[in-house]
Amino acid sequence: MAARTLYDKLVDAHVVRNLDAAGLVLLYVDRTVLNEYTSPQAFAGLRAAGRKVWNPGAALMVVDHVNPTAARRVRVMPDSAATRQVDYFAENARDFGIEYFDILDPRQGIEHVVAPEQGLVMPGMVIAAGDSHSTAYGAFGALGYGIGTSDIEHYLATSTVRYRRLKTMRIHLSGTAAPFGVTPKDIVMEVIRRIGADGATGYAVEFSGPAVSDMSVEGRIVMSIMIVEAGARGVVIAPDQKVLDYLKGRPRSPKGEMWERAATSWLALSSDPSAKFDREVTLDVSEVAPLVTWGTSPDQAIAVTDDVPDPVQQAEPARKAAAMRALSYMGLTPGTSIQSVPIDFAFIGSCTNARIEDLRDAAEIFRGRRVAAGVRAIVVPGSTQVRAQAEAEGLAKVFTDAGVEWRQSGCSMCLAMNDDVLSPGQRCASSTNRNFEGRQGPGARTHLMSPAMVAAAAVTGRITDVRSLLGGSHQ
């Protein structure tokens, strides 16, 4: 058999049948996670057609987008539309026999944090879910990708999706990142900046290389989630011992002899050495600096040491116009040092950056410091378990001592579908993945960066090179 990529192997292992000669297949999907806002119309469709869920045991339902993050948590939502959405969600879980974590469940949280935490994501799986950041699961050697509501309905009714094979792109990461201040978030932002917001459209991405092996599983999740901002429609990373160590003993991980069989199978998952990719991208991570976005697309980013770029440098007219519009929306002038830009708000959270390692990074900066006057900073952990762990490790106290609000888990101000919303014109240092116009509230201005960089901005009151706060004594 010809040499194959890991992506091709995962697809081949899940083809129920070919649907045409051009690569359209019926693909078996092992698992999904459902949220309250992309699933209602799918269940309504099933109800209208009198259809059942093919395999209710393969799905999990988690409220994550609309729930408030206020410290005292109750089941009732403050907003009637959110209440109706959550009520219908619970009704669907009950009627179709699907497991459901409501907002008081100790296992609840953001779907992409909860699913790996529970051991529901295993190497070799195909996982499609109604959220674009479902690429997260690539970090485990599973093929993860996002789908819309019609495809959710199709999946629920058949355990399959209609799927067209993607082209493959390998992103090879060599070198060693700077010891502190340069994180997986910076590395993936650098890749996106280089290939553009549509640079991986139509591709499944495999991350490989020594810098990936060096990275923790949580760091790999960050990259797998964020590369969707370059258009990647699926991510895989070959599983290694670190993945096994992460999964062992999780609630839904296999046990005993079944674990041994699974682990042997998982460690055999990789691209053949001579497999050909349709596109290769390489990056020496030792060249990467902490990054920050200046515009309204995730590829509009610069090193924190740089100045806001001048759109005149853009040759292509539509991109030039887009850059000018972005600068106007963001209230920035070309040539300004990005480190002179003051912030109003600091947000650490989201499926990208609200895991325990992210909170440890942020706490490192907040320890012994205070949030600058005039800045509001909130930390929203990715799950109730992450929250409990952060409290056990003393991180929560570091945050509150620094004047940071310590919240309950949820998607919160990543897309601001709950009551955590910025006001028009407010500028936010954000650990999230999207800086689109209106994303964190109409007129809100978002600068994407790593959690450590957000913390640095919070304590100085302006966008700051986190490396300048490291070493030496704290204030």
Residues 222-251 that bind other proteins (CB under 8 A): 229, 231, 233
DSSP 470: S
Q: Which residues contact 439 (CB under 8 A, 6 or more apart)?
A: 415, 416, 446
Q: Which of 240, 329, 250, 253 is nearest to 293 (CA)?
A: 329
Instruction: Round to whole Å and give the CA distance between 256 and 291.
Output: 44
* 197 lies in the binding site for other proteins (CB under 8 A): yes
Strand 59-62 relative to strand 32-34, pairing: parallel
Q: Which of 270, 168, 185 is nearest to 229 (CA)?
A: 185
Instruction: Compare residues 100 and 259 and give the one whose CB is closer to other proteins.
Output: 259
The binder of other proteins chosen from 95, 104, 105, 265 (CB under 8 A): 265
Instruction: Compare residues 164 and 276 and give the one whose CB is closer to other proteins.
Output: 164
Residues from 278 through 317 that contact other proteins (CB under 8 A): 297, 299
Instruction: Compare residues 51 and 172 and give the one whose CB is closer to other proteins.
Output: 51
The binder of other proteins chosen from 144, 146, 181, 410 (CB under 8 A): 146
User: Is the CB of residue 130 less than 8 Å from the CB of residue 35?
Assistant: yes
The binder of other proteins chosen from 8, 11, 37, 283 (CB under 8 A): 37
The binder of other proteins chosen from 1, 20, 76, 264 (CB under 8 A): 20
Residues from 62 through 101 that contact other proteins (CB under 8 A): 66, 79, 81-82, 84-85, 88
Closest separation in Å from C-beta 355 to other proteins: 21
Name the residue type at position 59. A
Residues from 157 through 186 that contact other proteins (CB under 8 A): 157-160, 162
The region of 40-48, 361-369, 394-402, 453-461 touching other proteins under the rule CB under 8 A is 40-48
Instruction: Round to whole Å and give the CA distance between 231 and 132.
Output: 10
Instruction: Round to whole Å and give the CA distance between 328 and 208.
Output: 38
Could you identify the residue written with the tokens 């609000």?
A: 405
* 202 lies in the binding site for other proteins (CB under 8 A): yes
Please give the size of the binding site for other proteins, defined by CB under 8 A: 76
Name the residue type at position 306. D
Structure-token pair, residue 64: 């994550």
The binder of other proteins chosen from 3, 74, 104, 258 (CB under 8 A): 258
User: Is the CB of residue 235 less than 8 Å from the CB of residue 135?
Assistant: yes
The binder of other proteins chosen from 125, 304, 351, 362 (CB under 8 A): 125
Instruction: Round to whole Å and give the CA distance between 447 and 323.
Output: 15
The region of 256-264, 368-376, 398-406, 467-475 touching other proteins under the rule CB under 8 A is 256-264
Residue 49 three-state SS: helix
The region of 104-112, 182-190, 261-269, 374-382 touching other proteins under the rule CB under 8 A is 261-269
